[in-house]
Structure 1
Amino acid sequence: MNVFIIGSKGIPANYGGFETFVDNLTERKKSKKINYHVACFTEEKKEDTHYNNARCFYVKVPNIGSAKAILYDLYSLKKSINFIEENNLNNTIIYILTCRIGPFIKLYRKKIKRLNIKVYVNPDGHEWKRSKWNYWVKKYWKLSERLTIKNSDFVICDSKNIEKYIKEEYGKYTPKTTFVPYGAEVIPSNIDDHNSELKEFYDKYDITPNNYFLIVGRFVPENNIELIIKEYMKTNTKKSLVIITNVSNNRFYQELLSRTSFKQDNRIKFVGTVYNQQLLKKIRENAFAYLHGHEVGGTNPSLLEALASTKLNLLLDVPFNTEVGKDAAIYFNKDNNNLSELINRIDKMSEEVRNKYSLRAKNRIIRDYDWNVITSNYEKIFEKALVEGIKK
């Protein structure tokens, strides 16, 4: 079985959920029946290479703004189909990560059918709900999601709530679905408390280990950074609020500043992004608590990393978060003063209680989100497709 994975930026993973997923899927491969081919984004012409025993094929696209990602997926799809045809490959799957190119799949449908290619898809979350998109982009995302599901043979959802939504929303297409979550590892960082890069980070932003609340996520409205900042500014805690995000002086930032005046509160610290994964893990481990305000769909990788690394986790009470956190986290809502009052209570929480939550969180990851189990489940799915193909 040859599995072509498109939709991620490729491997090795530098940053991002899908990239980390593909990295783990290929690195932990046990099956000798599966060959992975991974589309990798590049800005210069490159020849195919191998990494993690997977073939990496590079896709270069012109810089056309926000539509660049759509073009990248289309070029990746075309390259995959051409390679399958040129090499007379049988028993092939093209696994599409997220639903960016739904309206264009039908252009290749005849060729896909002639070459007996199966199309699998991971719909990710509710991209069409993201507030950063204007009305027409949201309409495109919803259309693209519908047409991707319609033209796929199998849908792999990393959230039970997303699987439920796909079955209900697109029931007329009778989609075949399954649930396989995203993963994480309960392994301590390889950085100790005396690490020079860690100390430099803390010194630069005047942060004290174990004396800060932490946010990690994209700088977008649907992650509810504004809500968290407003509520935090009402609290009595002396602890810092450290926000690791791709902050930029854009319209959202100016509106956030205008509506919260957060610069007047020296506890609130925007520290940019941290690309060193071991350093980021150590910063998570040294946080007093993690705050997770994400509300737009799917199993969020940063939430899994938090449960694997941070003792105490406070999550926005939406189905996608409660599905993952269960009793290993504490929940807040958007009601006025709900989060601020919770933080004031949490601030006095004993180390013994925090340790109990920490143990629950780590056991949750080990039991249900272990990468080895997840990659094994993927191999079973792909091998099942191989058996069905041979029977035909």
Structure 2
Amino acid sequence: MYDYKISILGIRGLPAKHGGFETFAEKLSLYLVERGWDITVYCQEQGSGDVYETEWQGVTRIHIPVSREGAAGTIIFDWKATCHALKQQGLFLTLGYNTACFNLMQRLNGQTNVINMDGIEWRRDKWGLVAKTWFWLNERAGCWIGNHLVADHPKIKDHLATRVRAEKVTMIPYGGDEVLSADAALLEPYALSPNDYSVIIARPEPENSFLEMVRSFSCKVRHHKLVVLGNFTPQGNAFHRAVMDAASEEVIFPGAIYEAPVVQALRFYARFYLHGHRVGGTNPSLVEALGAGCAVIAHDNHFNRWVAGEGAAYFENEAACEGLFDQLLNDTSRQLAMKEASKARFHERFTWPQVLQEYEQLLQDWYPSTLNK
């Protein structure tokens, strides 16, 4: 058993409720607790009042109330969490670089901080000039301030290597759970049956190719359904309305679904999982699709190709996506081959035991520099 202490910053808290980094932090925390580590996680709370502590499944949670909401609230929380961390001992793991400039205080305090640099946030279409500048500056700051960096994709490591020496970066991808079964009854409220639909699961943003995929599916009758998860409403922004206007009657918009068993069932029983992300590293949703044995149709870029492998089908543009629907929707043998390829790729690189063992080894390697703190 080990006697190591680590504090995790950069997430909203545990248990996981908000996305990929929270899920990863939960998996890593519980894994390290079982391995004898002393784990502290900072948690953002809505409201006001003093900082307080609780324990959750062996993890110490430091709760920091913040009265502001949205991005401003997150920045305030990160500032307060970093200030609190200055009084802590051991090693630090920061997930994301969005407020990496704050971590300079830890570096000046002599604390050792490993930073997971996430994706290339400043390249995302959804951000305006001010936000892109903030992310670009903080990416630079994180590269300089972090004692060591983690990239979740080989291309992210290559990108970071243009900022720092390559040996300062370790590539460890995101992990996922293998899904061998799911409750088909959970499809019934959406009038769906196994294999009679395909699914898109992503944030409803232009860079995730929603409009291209929906238009290419909707250009003709498919005798098949396309389920588009996400908070699309006719009263939404112009992009949301454009996607919904482009949809045929065979496209279903059930809204955002947060119940994990329902999302798991939607993936597991889908004929195809569509992944339109154009920017990012190892995307959690794509990894989860591989773990569910989905046949994957993805946007053709080096991020998706490394994750999904050669067994997936790729489209460069709307016309190519339409062609894939024409070719694959009724090709049962190809669908089965793609599903098997997804399972093989998942086991090759993305199981949680692989990922968590690699993280523990990296954290152990960096722990000695904190022994005198």
Q: TM-score, normalised by structure 1?
A: 0.87
1:136 Cα deviation from its structure 2 partner: 1.3
Task: Tell me how far apart the structure 1 counterparts of residues 105 and 74 of structure 2 sit (CA, whole Å).
Answer: 18
**1: CA distance, partners of 2:120 / 2:308:** 19
Give the superposition deviation at 1:391: 9.3
Which residue of 3, 6, 10 maps to 1:7?
Answer: 10
CA distance in 1, matches of 2:235, 2:79: 29
Residue by residue over 1:186-222, the C-alpha shift from the partner in whole angstroms, topping out at 9 and shown as x without a partner, is 1334x432x3x4322x23xxx3331111100111111
Matched, 1:241 2:230: no
2: distance between equivalents of 1:275 and 1:64?
Answer: 20
1:96 aligns with 94
* Change over 3 Å in CA distance of 1:47–1:104 after alignment to 2: closer
Among 265, 274, 289, the alignment partner of 1:291 is 274
Matched, 1:50 2:31: no
In the alignment, the residues of structure 2 paired with residue 77 and residue 101 of structure 1 have an alpha-carbon distance, to the nearest angstrom, of 10
> Whole-Å Cα distance in 2 between the matches of residues 259 and 58 of structure 1?
39
The counterpart of 1:176, out of the listed 141, 165, 168, is 168
How far has the Cα of 1:122 moved from its partner? Answer: 0.8
Partner of 2:313: 330
Structure 2: stretches of 5+ with no match in the other structure = none
In 2, Cα distance between equivalents of 1:36 and 1:161: 30
CA distance in 1 between counterparts of 2:209 and 2:142 reads 29
Q: Which residue of 2 is the match for residue 37 of structure 1? A: 40
The equivalent of 2:188 in structure 1 is: 199
What is the distance in 2 between the residues matched to 1:34 and 1:211? 46
Which deviates further from its counterpart, 143-152 or 270-279? 270-279
**CA drift at 1:225:** 0.6
Instruction: Give distance in 2, aligned partners of 1:72 and 1:51.
Output: 20
Relative to the length of structure 2, the TM-score reads 0.91
1:316 corresponds to which residue?
Answer: 299
The more displaced of 241-250 and 356-365 is 241-250
Q: Does 1:61 align with 2:59?
A: no
Who is 1:188 aligned against? 180
The CA RMSD over aligned residues, in Å, is 2.3
Tell me what 2:31 maps to.
28
Sequence identity, in percent? 25
SS in 2 for 1:19: helix
Question: CA separation in 1, counterparts of 2:92 and 2:183?
Answer: 42
Task: In structure 2, give the amino acid aligned to 1:324.
Answer: V
Task: Name the CA distance, whole Å, in 2 between partners of 1:386 and 1:235.
Answer: 58
Q: Give the superposition deviation at 1:331.
A: 0.8
Displacement of 1:251: 5.8
Tell me, yes or no, if structure 1 residue 267 matches structure 2 residue 267: no
Match of 1:140 among 119, 127, 134: 134
**Cα drift, residue 365 of structure 1:** 1.1
Aligned to 2:215: 230
Amino acid at match of 1:368: R
Aligned residue pairs total 368
Offset at residue 293 of structure 1 (A): 0.3
Native 8 Å contact 1:229 1:262 kept in 2: yes
**Residue 119 of structure 2 is aligned to residue 119 of structure 1:** no
Shift of 1:32: 4.4
Stretches of structure 1 that go unaligned for 5 or more consecutive residues are none
* Alpha-carbon contact 2:293-2:340 (below 8 Å) kept: no
Task: Pick closer, same or farther for the CA change 1:187–1:219 going to 2, 3 Å.
Answer: same
| Preserved contact between residue 106 and residue 112 of structure 2 (Cα < 8 Å) | no
